[in-house]
Structure 1
């Protein structure tokens, strides 16, 4: 019976699972920011190259 209580105390004090969840949430947030930033940058780059191509004389 004493071993069971020790196991329960160890489980309650163990923070590995909580740390893993925190890292997963942080990684998800960073991925969403990178995706949002990449999409905006992609549109800006497309417009810039479109303007450069439109300004070049036809060869």
Structure 2
């Protein structure tokens, strides 16, 4: 019984899987945050461009 408990405590297969899962989760959070920030900034840039082009007349019309 003592050997079985010691062997269970020394086993590290599950620990590696948990570490990979945590790493994947952190990467996902970083990607989501980055995309959110880029999306907000792009929206601001397109707003400025839209405002700047608001008075432009289409020469073909």
Q: Same fold (TM over 0.5)?
A: yes
What are the residue-to-residue correspondences of 1:26-45 with 2, within 5 Å? 26-45=23-42
Moved over 6 A (4+): none
Q: TM-score, normalised by structure 2?
A: 0.71
Task: Count how many residue pairs are aligned between Structure 1 and Structure 2.
Answer: 56
Q: TM-score, normalised by structure 1?
A: 0.73
What are the residue-to-residue correspondences of 1:1-59 with 2, within 5 Å? 5=3, 10-56=7-53, 57-59=56-58
Separation in 1, partners of 2:37, 2:57: 29
- List alignment gaps of at least 5 residues for structure 2: none
Q: Once the two structures are superposed, what CA deviation does each residue of 1:5-47 show, in whole Å capped at 9, x if it has no partner?
A: 4x65554433211000000000111111111111111100000
